[in-house]
Amino acid sequence: MLKSKPVTACQSPRVICRALLKQQPHLFRHGLESISEHVYKRQLSSSEASTSCSQAAVPSHVACIMDGNFRWGCRRGGDWRRGHEEGVSALRRVVKFCRRDGVKALTVYAFSTENWERSHEEVGFLMRLMERTLDMEVPELRSQGVRVSFAGNRAALPESLQRVMSRVEEQTANNSDLILCVCLSYGGQQDIIQAVRQICLEVQQGKLAPDQVTEKSLSERLSTYMTRMLVGEPDLLIRTSGEQRLSNFLLWECAYTELYFTPTCWPDFDFRDWQDAMLHYASRRRRYGGRSKQGNGQTDD
């Protein structure tokens, strides 16, 4: 009889599942999703006990760059619209994963300031899709305890979408299980600039002294502040579709955020991809520029 190799906190659940199924084929009757979830729970327990992994196996605040929708649609019949629509389904899944695992906030990059440079047809489709989706999802979000907030330059968005955004915020304001912060017409550089302009105006008006300008005062004037005030800065940023850059997303907020990149396009992002991201986070030791203590009392190199 073959002996199973020990599960380590940093192994991919997919690799472990394949090994388990080779050694114990009868596990097929349980289904890969069930086996994968079992492995995930074992690994989280292992990572919490391991000195080589973070003590907090699940991040409080996750940020997502939901990349690859257009390419996904073009590769499957050439309809980029379907890629964006399936991207909405992927976001629904990730919201459920967050609620199940105890994540307190999910911030997503839905439409950037640079996205305005896309074709008039695509921009118009995305505006209508976001308006329709927000309107349709309110009952489900309320029943799941999800509070919705928005970041970015609202004034640049269609008035009809702005009205829906305000209504969704109002109708979900009392929810507390998960904060879903949707970044629309958002750019990290632009958000910092508007915060600096606000501070300059307050200094000019005598409301704020120059020596009162601090990191905290600037942070409080960013459009993402409400979510971060309640939950903290992002612990983990996930970017899909293989690109490995921030693309002007949460530049201030992600100073000490763990970064995770996956080749999976956003519409295909599923439970196993989520597991891989969580295990990556659990394997990290977060020092914030300092040195963490090892089990023997020594500090890291």
**Which residue among the candidates 101, 115, 153, 268 is catalytic per the annotation?**
115
Provide the pLDDT for residue 35. 45
- Predicted TM-score (pTM) above 0.85: no
* Spatial separation of the C-alpha atoms in residues 197 and 205, rounded to whole Å: 12
Q: What is the mean pLDDT of residues 209-232?
A: 97
Tokens at residue 250, please?
A: 């949460």
Note if 115 is an active site residue: yes
> 59-268 sits in which CATH class?
alpha beta
CB 274 within 8 A of CB 42: no
pLDDT in tens, 82-99: 999 999 999 999 999 999
Amino acid identity, residue 128?
R
Average pLDDT of 171-182?
Answer: 97
Residue pair 226/149 in contact (Cβ under 8 Å)? The answer is yes
Mean pLDDT, all residues of the chain: 85
DSSP 3-state of 216: helix
Which residue matches tokens 């394949």? 18
**Stretch (H or E) spanning 182:** strand 178-186
Q: Are 282 and 43 in contact (CB under 8 A)?
A: yes
Phi, psi at residue 28, to the nearest 5°?
A: -55, -30
Tokens of 215: 């990191």
Instruction: Name the pLDDT band for 294 (thresholds 50, 70, 90).
Output: low
Catalytic status, residue 191: no
Q: What is the pLDDT of residues 51-80, one digit of tens each?
A: 333 335 899 999 999 999 999 999 988 899
Radius of gyration of the chain (CA): 21
- pLDDT above 50 (res 29): no
Token digits of residue 180: 């879903």
Cβ pair 18, 36 in contact under 8 A: no
Sheet strands side by side (includes 105-112) = 146-151, 178-186, 105-112, 61-65, 236-239, 258-261
Q: 186-217 burial, b for 16+ CB within 10 Å, e for fewer?
A: bbbebbbeebeebbeebeeeeebeeeeeeeee
- Of 40, 37, 33, 35, the closest CA to residue 58 belongs to 40
Tokens 């396009």, located at residue = 265
Q: Which residue has the tokens 């257009």?
A: 70
